[in-house]
Amino acid sequence: MNPHAKLICTVSLIMGTSITISSNHWILAWTGLEINTLAIIPLISKSHHPRAIEATIKYFLTQSTASALILFSSMTNAWSTGQWDITQLNHPTSCLMLTMAIAIKLGLVPFHFWFPEVLQGSSLITALLLSTLMKLPPITLLLLTSQSLNTTLLTLLAIASTLIGGWMGLNQTQTRKILAFSSISHLGWMIMIISYNPQLTILTFILYTIMTSTVFLSLAQIKVLKLSTMLISWTKTPMLNATVMLTLLSLAGLPPLTGFMPKWLIIQELTKQEMTPMATIITMLSLLSLFFYLRLAYHSTITLPPNSSNHMKLWRTNKTLNTPTAILTALSTTLLPLSPLIITML
């Protein structure tokens, strides 16, 4: 891609995210969201493949609809209460419309249909941006208004997202679609706890960002786009495949890895709020996603692929030093013993 265009898009992404997360006025928040949508369009379509163009169009249409709904909900609230403060969203129609708009923006069920297809149409690094950076402004808006939103609706969205994220991920062989469904199910966990303890939503989001970034960056280094490529990638980078396995198990939420921390704290908080059946349901539904994480982890470390390989290491290799991946891997597997420190920081 043209370096100048790439620079403008990257700077606009950072600017749009900063504008939305630091705003107090709805119009400024909407402006940041629109700048983000515009800036990522060329990044999704940069390979000029018909699948990428289709992904770009789908992304643009859904995000614009959601932005328009956010604008309508803020205007309805301003018309009835006379102020544009984000934290003072009191009109019931506005709260409902905003919940639906943020659900479309994030890719929560039942508005999740665009997400796997958009991720599949973009490159791995653009998919990383779509899963982590583009989720930050909508989650911020949801956190700011979480006290006024309908708890039952949020709980329904959360359980449906965990269910569909786990269930539909089972039949996927393309790694980007697997990670899309993993993202949907993690978002379900985040939305579950937002009415009771928004700090846990922030914690889950930060840890999910670290773990997903690790997986995406590692997969981008070994250029693994489907399960069959994953099976034979151990010959190129055996150490990276081992760490990918650990990171995937961390995403699945297995102790003693980092991914256990948000799930543990969320279950504890739900039980404290007398929502034990919900805690049980959401934990059981995470077992579905555990299956495809295990399958992916198994494929990354298996040393006997279906096609025979006569040697362990390929002799023609281009291993580049990748410091961010290393740092993120360390964070995404070893942060659990620091839970007391992290809880105090929240």
Partner 1 sequence: MTYFVIFLGICFMLGVLAVASNPSPYYGVVGLVVASVMGCGWLVSLGVSFVSLALFLVYLGGMLVVFVYSVSLAADPYPEAWGDWRVVGYGLGFVLVVWMGVVLGGLVDFWKVGVVTVDGGGVSFARLDFSGVAVFYSCGVGLFLVAGWGLLLALFVVLELVRGLSRGAIRAV
Nearest distance in Å: CB 344, partner 1: 36
* Contacts of 267 by beta carbon, 8 Å cutoff, 6+ apart: 279, 283
End-to-end C-alpha distance for the chain, whole angstroms? 40
28 binds partner 1 (CB under 8 A): yes
Nearest distance in Å: CB 6, partner 1: 9
The smaller minimum CB distance to partner 1, of residues 40 and 231, is found at 40
83 binds partner 1 (CB under 8 A): no
49 binds partner 1 (CB under 8 A): yes
Nearest distance in Å: CB 28, partner 1: 7
SS3 111: coil
What whole-number distance in Å separates Cα of residue 95 and Cα of residue 97? 6
Q: Is the peptide bond before 110 cis (omega within 30 degrees of 0)?
A: yes
Which of 10, 21, 38, 72 contacts partner 1 by CB under 8 A? Answer: 38
Buried b (16+ CB within 10 A) or exposed e, 196-211: bbbebbbbbbebbbbb
5 binds partner 1 (CB under 8 A): yes
Contact 258, 334 (CB under 8 A): yes
Stretch of residues binding partner 1 (CB under 8 A), selected from 40-48, 97-105, 306-314, 334-342: 40-48
Stretch of residues binding partner 1 (CB under 8 A), selected from 45-53, 98-106, 122-130, 240-248: 45-53
Question: Number of helices (H) and strands (E), helices first, in the chain?
Answer: 16, 0
What whole-number distance in Å separates Cα of residue 232 and Cα of residue 169? 22
What whole-number distance in Å separates Cα of residue 7 and Cα of residue 277? 49
Stretch of residues binding partner 1 (CB under 8 A), selected from 3-11, 62-70, 190-198, 274-282: 3-11
What whole-number distance in Å separates Cα of residue 315 and Cα of residue 309? 13
**Sign of the Cα pseudo-torsion (171, 287, 263, 280, in order):** positive
**Number of chain positions touching partner 1 (CB under 8 A):** 22
Q: Which tokens hold the place of 74?
A: 């803020």
Which of 10, 21, 42, 65 contacts partner 1 by CB under 8 A? Answer: 42
Which of 10, 21, 41, 334 contacts partner 1 by CB under 8 A? Answer: 41
The smaller minimum CB distance to partner 1, of residues 20 and 175, is found at 20
The smaller minimum CB distance to partner 1, of residues 18 and 174, is found at 18
What whole-number distance in Å separates Cα of residue 187 and Cα of residue 82? 33
Stretch of residues binding partner 1 (CB under 8 A), selected from 47-55, 175-183, 295-303, 331-339: 47-55
Nearest distance in Å: CB 129, partner 1: 15
78 binds partner 1 (CB under 8 A): no
82 binds partner 1 (CB under 8 A): no
Nearest distance in Å: CB 225, partner 1: 18
Nearest distance in Å: CB 64, partner 1: 12
* Contacts of 273 by beta carbon, 8 Å cutoff, 6+ apart: 196
Instruction: Give, in degrees to the nearest 5, the angle at Cα 178 between 175 and 182.
Output: 135
Write out the binding residues for partner 1, residues 52-71 only, by CB under 8 A: 53, 56
* Contacts of 274 by beta carbon, 8 Å cutoff, 6+ apart: none
Binding stretches for partner 1 (CB under 8 A):
2, 5, 8-9, 12, 15, 19, 27-28, 31, 34-35, 38-39, 41-42, 45, 48-50, 53, 56
